[in-house]
Amino acid sequence: MKSLNIKKFAIIAILLGMVGFAFAPATDRITVKGSDTLVILAQKWAEVYMKSNPNTAIQVTGGGSGVGIAALINGSTDIANASRKMKPSEKDKLKARYNTLGVEVACAKDGITVYLHPSNKVKELSVKQLGEIFKGNIKNWKEVGGADAAIKLYGRENSSGTYVFFQEHVVKGDYAPSCQTLPGTAAVVNAVKKDPNAIGYGGAAYAEGIEICKVKKDENSPAYIASTETIKNNQYPITRYLFMYLKNKPTGALKSYIDWILSPEGQKLVVEAGYFPIR
């Protein structure tokens, strides 16, 4: 093979490849993956949006914030739902693969709710007490004014954004080894429903059939439950934004869908699903 031919071959192949691949057709199929906290709301959004936009197909799955962001990086989803911010290491992967920093869209607010069994005498806890409980330093309900019974801890798996957010803002350390991890907020709620000595945490939208624990910022503060008012007034101490992450600035059908989610119509569904609007 002559060197000239190799050079021509390489340059032509690279240029042809550029031209050929630069015009990949856009599609109206949108995939959404990630946060289990957001999955109910995301499904509701998709369902309502598809009714008025029949040409757009939206597929929604959960799996956890980490799973959604990993799917965004490996190209298997268009939107990654996350109940936490993207980590620097995840941003680096996105940079390496797509040469962008990603686009962060805050789409709702959530108050992380602490679930108790309705029979539990304890009705309110401070953030510090919650941290000590989930670290395993407080082991018995009587230490926080409850019955003489061992505390049973239920939480999320480490791929969950809720797990990470609760760890960073409440636990501030390692979870107790006795904290049983469950695959989804619904599973945490179910476990707490069945166990009088249980405590768990998760999104506000799932809190049905259990007692919602009021949370105090510190010992001297009043205790609140998560509500539109307490979250808007920054009174409820464990609030967070829920995010959608995209690889690039959205265009076409994806942009229309995001714009609709942020519109009053989309934000109305946020409230209906048990979350809180961003404005």
Partner 1 sequence: MKRLSLITLMLISAMFYKVNAQETTTTEKLTEVNDKINGLTERLATAESDLSKLTKIKVSGYIQAQYQYFENPSIQPNNYFSLRRARVKFTYEMTDGVKFVLTPEFVPGNLSVKDAYVVINDRWTKAFSIWAGKFNRPNYEVEYSSSSRELAERSTVIRTLYPGERAIGAKLEYNPVNVPFHFQLALLNGADGIMIYNASGTNLNTTENKDFDNYKDIMVRATYNLQLGNFGGLDFGAHGYFGSLKSNAQKTLSSDYSTIEDVQFGDAVKRNWVGGEFQLFADILGGLSVKGEYIAGKNASIGYSPVAAVGTTAAIPGVANFRNNFAGYYLYFIKNLGKKNQFAFRYDYYDPNTDITGKDVTIAKYTSADATTLKNRVSGKSDLAISTFGFALHHYFDDNLRISLNYDIVQNEKVGSAGLLTEDYTKADGTKVLKGLDYSNVISQNLLTLRIQAKF
**Exposure string over 138-153, b if 16+ CB within 10 A, otherwise e:** beebeebebeeeebbb
CB of 217 to partner 1, least distance (A): 20
CB of 74 to partner 1, least distance (A): 3
- The footprint of partner 1 on this chain (CB under 8 A) covers a number of residues equal to 32
Using the structure block, give the residue that is written with the tokens 């670290």. 135
Which one, 97 or 121, has the nearer CB to partner 1? 97
CB of 26 to partner 1, least distance (A): 10
CB of 262 to partner 1, least distance (A): 15
Site for partner 1 in 73-92 (CB under 8 A): 73-76, 88
Helices 36-52 and 264-272: angle between axes, nearest 10 degrees = 130
Residues 113, 114, 116, 122, CA torsion sign: negative
Q: Are 24 and 52 in contact (CB under 8 A)?
A: no
In total, the chain counts a number of residues equal to: 279
**Of 21-29, 111-119, 212-220, 267-275, which part binds partner 1 (CB under 8 A)?**
21-29
Q: Can you list the positions of beta strands (E) in 137-229?
A: 152-156, 180-182, 198-202, 211-216, 223-224
Is residue 106 at the binding interface for partner 1, with CB under 8 A as the rule? no
Out of 57, 103, 105, 262, the only residue in the binding site for partner 1 (CB under 8 A) is 103
Which one, 1 or 220, has the nearer CB to partner 1? 1
Is residue 24 at the binding interface for partner 1, with CB under 8 A as the rule? yes
Is residue 219 at the binding interface for partner 1, with CB under 8 A as the rule? no
Categorise residue 136: left if φ over 0, alpha if ψ from -120 to 50, beta otherwise: left
Out of 11, 147, 150, 271, the only residue in the binding site for partner 1 (CB under 8 A) is 11
In the three-class reduction of DSSP (H, G, I as helix; E, B as strand; rest coil), residue 106 is classed as strand
Q: What are the residues binding partner 1 (CB under 8 A)?
A: 1, 3, 6-7, 9-11, 13-14, 17-18, 21-22, 24, 73-76, 88, 95-101, 103, 173-174, 247-249
